[in-house]
Chain A
Amino acid sequence: MSMTLRLGYVPLLDAAPLIIAEALGFAEEEGLSLDLNTAPSWAALRDMLAVGQVDAAQMLAPVPVAMALGLGRGPVRFEALCVLNLNGNVIGVSDALAAKMASAGFGFDFTDARAAGRALLAASPSLRIGVPYAFSMHRELLHYWLRASGAVAEQLDIRTVPPPRMAEALQAGEIDLFCVGEPWGSVAVENGSGTLLLPTSALWARAPEKVLATRLGWAEAEPALAGPLLRALWRAGRWLGRAENHIIAAEMLTAQGRIAVSAELIERALTGRVVTAPDGREHLSPQLITFFEGAAGFPWRSQAAWIGAALAGRHGLDVVEASATAADVFRSDLYRQHLRPAGAILPGASEKLEGALAEATAVPAERGQLILPADRFFDARIFDLTAPVR
């Protein structure tokens, strides 16, 4: 007798852990049956979770943090039980802007964020930028990158464009630049409307992207559901992290119209072999999206604090207070409690210096050691939760 859980997601590559957990039977092994519901927008998904139409949902990592900070006017509060994936977004520019950058000698290496930032601002002093949602890593990372590259706030006009409309908006000249989750960046390349400049992993190698969000208190009230769900998602993430599964994963994610693009487009981001321009240029970017490596699912309190500090900076809140409030939104305590029985390697600490590792480093785990991959920001800044700076 299995218990049914209602989950919500937006059809994107990073919904993969939810889809795979159900499709490959990882949920069933835990005695769960997942009723997966797609949402047409992040606002709709937030509402579905808020009013209880679903029990848990894939969510942009900054959404539950923004709620905790009182931004976005909701009386409801969410918390994050795990990180579903790191990165998985790409930044693309219009053909006109790409041509201008190329003629100034920029090489489009899909790697060097410093050079890309400089070339971009040299080619276009003001930028109209499309992101999927007001509270998103897309928005926070773009802001971080362009400000650190020398742009002032007045040069940046960041607005919301729904991902399925992103390519169209670029082509229609409504925006010059976008940051969007795969496969929508590849869709823009495929229909000839844009050139990809960078993956967001070039801005922050280990940026939390989507989390599993639940209503505040739900996971503690329903440990017999939250535990199996977290373990099923962890196993799905482990499966997705193996290179030999990428091709079949692409097929499964696009089967039955789950994500309504061709498997070939999904495969690009999964394998990290990305076609970056309409002329067919290809770049290798193996860290474009991470589901598992280096305890990717662990909800570090310091990740939430970084998001809190970034939001506070843009919305005029106290940065120290916001980081502390934000840290509590990522429930590393519940993650430990429910993943320990599955044999997951859990870090010894729940907070770390974000951006401090220039190379893979062994750190103490609850049992033994854990190898944490390099987690640098493009400008080599280090974020310390205990001393967040503006």
Chain B
Amino acid sequence: MGQRLSVIVVEKDRARALLIVDGLRDAGDFDVMVIAEETGLARRIAQRNPDLVLIDAGNPSRDVLEELALATGPNERPVAMFVDQSDGSLTKAAIEAGMSAYVVDGLRADRIKPILDAAIARFHMLQKMRIELQETRRALEERKSIDRAKGILMRARGIGEEEAYALLRKTAMDQGRKLADVASALVLAADLLK
């Protein structure tokens, strides 16, 4: 029973993989391996014969792992998808964190839980970082189209920057729309008229 649990993390991005591995190391002494390559994924995992596989729920290669869950050969260890385990709250937490786990059947729940708790915490962190990145990008895009819309108005109507901005804001308020939406509509229309 004292054997170290072996865990495979399927993750292409090196930085993300390291974060997850670090999280698992903090939680206990596990034998952790990262697979970055998606080619021959099922074969690589089968060779290693891990107790647990962790994969981003957003990874299309997740369907490859479903096949492992169906293994029925006499020498194959059955693998269960974590989503089917009886611990409902843990399952839900994992799905919300965007993580899927494949656990070898018969592994005691108290041995799995600390790993999954640590992994879920890390996936949460990664998800938060991803959302922040998206929001930053969107804000930047919005800024860009507002700047372009201002420029279009300044040229077309011969007005100053402040006046152009006020006009955009007034239009947005009158129409009950977001400033960025009005700006991008104007940019689109101007592109069409070119």
Interfacial residues, chain A to chain B (CB-CB below 8 A): 40-44, 47-48, 50-51, 53, 71-75, 132-134, 159-165, 169, 172, 174
Contact = CB atoms under 8 A, between A and B. Distances in A.
Contacts of B179: none
B84 A43 contact: no
7 contacts: A41-B63, A48-B95, A75-B84, A132-B63, A160-B42, A165-B60, A174-B39
B91 interface: yes
B172 interface: no
Interface in B51-69: 57-67, 69
Given A44-B100, A50-B83, A73-B69, A164 B92 contact: no
Given A44-B57, A53-B95, A73-B81, A133 B63 contact: yes
A134 B66 contact: yes
Nearest to B83: A47
A133 B40 CA distance: 15
B58 A133 contact: no
B27 interface: no
B109 to A, nearest CB: 16
A51 B62 contact: no
A44 B62 contact: yes
B70 A44 contact: no
B29 interface: no
A45 to B, nearest CB: 10
B118 interface: no
Among all A-B residue pairs, the 4 with the closest Cβ atoms? A162-B60, A41-B62, A41-B63, A160-B64
A162 to B, nearest CB: 4
Given A53-B95, A160-B42, A47 B63 contact: no
A162 B62 CA distance: 8
Contacts of A133: 63, 66
Interface size class of B (residues with CB under 8 A): 20 to 34
Contacts of A71: 70
A240 B91 CA distance: 38
A162 B59 CA distance: 10
Given A43-B100, A53-B95, A160-B42, A73 B84 contact: yes
B38 interface: yes
Contacts of B39: 169, 172, 174
A74 B81 CA distance: 9
Residue of B38, B40, B62 contacting most chain A CB atoms (<10 Å)? B62
A161 B81 CA distance: 18
Contact of B95 (A47, A74, A160, A164): A47
A374 B57 CA distance: 41
A174 B38 CA distance: 12
Interface string B91-104: 11001000010000
Contacts of A42: 63, 66
B57 A47 contact: yes
A165 B38 contact: yes
A183 to B, nearest CB: 15
Nearest to B79: A73
A162 B64 contact: yes
Interface in B23-63: 38-40, 42, 57-63
A19 B177 CA distance: 24
Contact of A74 (B40, B59, B84, B92): B84
Contacts of B69: 72-73
